[in-house]
Amino acid sequence: MIGALFLYPLGYSLATAFTDPGSGFLSLVHFEKAYELYSTDIAFTLFIVIVSTLLTALISIIIAGILTLSETPWLVTALRNLYRWPLFIPFIVAAQCMRTFLAKNGLMNNSLVGLGLMEPLQATSFLDWRGIIITFVWKQVPFVTLMLAGAMASIDRATIEAGRNLGASRLRVLIELVLPQVAQTLLVGLVLSFVTMLSVLSVPMMVAGSQPTMLTVDMAFRINSYGDYGTANALGVISYLIAGTVAWIYLRHNMKREAQA
Amino acid sequence: MDGTVLPAIDVDHLQVSYGSQQVLHGVSLSIASGEFVAILGSSGCGKTTLLRTIAGFQKASGGSIRLSGRDVVNVPPEKRGMAMMFQSYALWPHMTVLGNVGYGLRLRGVPREEIRARVASVLKMLNLSGLENRKVTALSGGQRQRVALGRALAIEPQILLLDEPLSNLDAKVRIQLRSEIKSLQNQLGFTALHVTHDREEAMTMADRIVVMEAGRIAQVGTPKEVYDQPASPFVASFMGAENTISLDVTPAGSGVQIRADDGSMASCIDSVPIGAVTAYFRDDVASLEDPAARIDGSIILPGRITQRTYPGGYYRYVVAIGDRHFSVTDDRYHELDRPVGLRLPVASLHLFPTEQTKGGLHA
């Protein structure tokens, strides 16, 4: 089953990516074409996914840190009740919401104007790279926070108290004592988020314009408009290499930890 | 300044609640600088809550906590300037021994070289020299708790709080660490507040013992006072006087006469409560005699030996008297089922009016 449903299509795509359609021989012609047409999009994709991953990490750490260390019960309750919601919203619905929220005359700008924080003339659309990043972060923060807050809740509470007892502020406790103990979980969450964001089609397609755009949109375009499976597969291999690099970093880190333990 | 020495820790009418459940009902306690005080009590009596409230991890709902005169009730734990040892050691697994012990110094901005030097001297004091770069996860339980002690002592605290730090260790290491902590306290002169449910640990380490019962202090005194003159049935039973017997005390001449249900009696001139009393006694104050013996100042109750064990150094017997069973230690060997007289020296009994003991909590 695995062979038929997974390995065969994957192998076939890989083979197509490396085959010259004219001669049928092994060739990098599709990769040359992909690079020629889409090198900007490859860089754009990397930029979007890396920035989104870093922002996701930062916000998740803040939320999980508040959930673990805050002494303000109402803040903890509010955050705990709110932060998971985006988990249950599909990417395409999130993208749709963001279109109405981030547009020039969208809810965000209207609210800012309404609050007197911005002049109507200053309003600009966020429906570009910023929109993609905001949507990705909005969608992935709950996932990473869920893992991170769970890991933080399961560490020995006394290790937190020991730090505060010796004079560490809550911020220092979070950065120096809590985060290192849950780094592994954070890394897993971020790797999974990175790969997810790399493979989402709906968000870049709906939220941002066509130039530059992400590799998923380019692949769909090559197939739907030109039936050009060769270039699409070459782009797929590039995506896979990017994801593979991240997975390799994760595995290497894992092995290092195991060797130390 | 009026020249009087302020107590290192002064807790005044401290109240703590978890939600609607009140855990500490107005606890007052004063601890002098350099004193070693043990808080002793059974599970759920509020002893750990008291310690955690002093450390700042639990909010007080009333009362005050003053450290050398400074009220700290609303001060966060990191600004109270105490050190603490935890039952779970609470070492940071991602750090080395040096990282753990030196963390408090790093927080205080001590230069790296000085941290190394000070950590080395702390480790030397604790017989852990050379382990600076060892991961704490690679240490034994005893070594880990020594590192935790070193971490607490590295900042040279005025006050050390100990939250059952020895209860996870095996018996031998526990006894060794007890005396190490005690001698370090003598040497360095810090004030120590030690929470434990282990009576022997409290007795051997502390200058004063605080026995807590259901969120209140039941008795404060030196180990000897608390052991020999328990203030309540709870304290008596917590300090090991777990045998109880009903007696009747009547005035007789210049003293009193104490009579058991079966008619055996003894007289006594100590001041004891009059009327129906319950006597509490430890198994080592009672002894086994001939059932017909008459000994001044002692009640002899005839009974039968039903069980004999040898814990080492002496025998422990269970003696049945009527439908009651008493535990007694005796150096001599006696056959099972033998009729014996359970000798209770009146002076060693803790007598409390029966009314007071009714519905009381026993350890």
Q: Which residues of A touch B57 (CB under 8 A)?
A: 161, 164
Q: Which residues of B touch A69 (CB under 8 A)?
A: none
Q: Are residues B166 and B276 in the same domain?
A: no
How sure is the predictor about A10, in pLDDT bands with cuts at 50, 70 and 90? confident
Q: Are residues B274 and B158 in the same domain?
A: no
Taking the model in full, what pTM does it have?
0.84
Q: Are strands B324-330 and B315-321 parallel, antiparallel or unpaired?
A: antiparallel
Phi, psi angles (nearest 5°) of residue B352: -130, 140
**CA A29, CA A41: separation in Å to the nearest integer?**
18
CATH number at residue B98: 3.40.50.300
Label each residue of B274-338 as H, E or C: CEEEEEEECCCCCEEECCCCCCCCEEEEEEEEEEEECCCCCEEEEEEECCEEEEEEECCCCCCCC
Q: Are residues B197 and B56 in the same domain?
A: yes
CATH number at residue B346: 2.40.50.140
Contact B92 A169 (CB under 8 A): no
**CA B220, CA B36: separation in Å to the nearest integer?**
13
pLDDT tens track for A78-110: 999 999 999 999 999 999 999 899 888 888 988
Task: For chain B of 363 residues, list the mean pLDDT of each consecutive stretch of 10.
Answer: 76 92 94 94 91 93 92 92 92 94 94 94 91 92 92 93 91 89 91 93 94 93 93 92 88 81 73 86 89 84 92 92 90 90 89 73 44
Q: Are residues B178 and B85 in the same domain?
A: yes
> Looking at CA atoms only, how far is residue B82 from chain A in angstroms?
7
pLDDT for residue B272: 79
Q: Say if residues B96 and B131 touch (Cβ distance below 8 Å).
A: no
Minimum-distance CB partner of B92 among A159, A169, A260? A159
Q: Are residues B75 and B16 in the same domain?
A: yes
The whole-number average pLDDT for the span A106-121 is 88
3-class secondary structure, A250: helix
Residue A214, Cα to own-chain centre: how many angstroms? 13
3-class secondary structure, A120: helix
3-class secondary structure, B197: coil
Mean pLDDT of chain B: 89
Range list of H helices, chain B: 47-55, 97-107, 112-125, 141-154, 171-188, 199-205, 223-228, 233-238, 354-357
Q: Say if residues B144 and B150 touch (Cβ distance below 8 Å).
A: no
Contact A162 B90 (CB under 8 A): yes
Greater confidence, B116 or A208? B116
- The enclosing H or E element of B348 equals none
**CA A101, CA A105: separation in Å to the nearest integer?**
8
Ordered domains of chain A (ranges, CATH): 26-260 (1.10.3720.10)
- Encoded tokens for B51: 């310690």
pLDDT for residue B328: 93
Interface probe with B: pick from A166, A185, A253, most Cβ of B within 10 Å: A166
Q: Are residues B18 and B141 in the same domain?
A: yes
Contact B91 A161 (CB under 8 A): no
Q: Are residues B209 and B136 in the same domain?
A: yes
pLDDT at A39 over 50: yes
User: Which of B189, B214, B234 is the last residue before a domain boundary?
Assistant: B234
Q: What is the largest CA-CA distance in chain B?
A: 78
Q: Are residues B136 and B204 in the same domain?
A: yes
Minimum-distance CB partner of A167 among B107, B137, B148? B107
> Looking at CA atoms only, how far is residue B83 from chain A in angstroms?
6
Q: Which residue of B has its CA nearest to A166?
A: B104
Q: Say if residues B30 and B208 touch (Cβ distance below 8 Å).
A: no
Q: Which residues of B touch A183 (CB under 8 A)?
A: 94
Q: Are residues B209 and B111 in the same domain?
A: yes
pLDDT at A25 over 90: no
pLDDT for residue B358: 61
User: In which domain, by residue range, is B308 found?
Assistant: 242-354
- Encoded tokens for A250: 């994760």
Least confident of A26-30, A132-136, A172-176: A26-30
Residue position matching structure tokens 């990098």: A28
**CA A148, CA A188: separation in Å to the nearest integer?**
10
Q: Are residues B188 and B279 in the same domain?
A: no
Q: Say if residues A207 and A132 touch (Cβ distance below 8 Å).
A: yes
Interface probe with A: pick from B92, B115, B119, B156, most Cβ of A within 10 Å: B92
Minimum-distance CB partner of A166 among B93, B107, B135? B107
pLDDT tens track for B141-198: 889 999 999 999 999 999 999 999 998 888 888 898 899 899 899 999 999 999 999 9
pLDDT for residue A14: 87
Question: Rounded to whole angstroms, what are the CA distances from B42 to A141, B45, B195, B363?
Answer: 45, 6, 11, 6
What string of DSSP letters covers A85-105? GGGGS-HHHHHHHHHHHHSTT
Predicted complex ipTM: 0.83
**CA B164, CA B161: separation in Å to the nearest integer?**
10
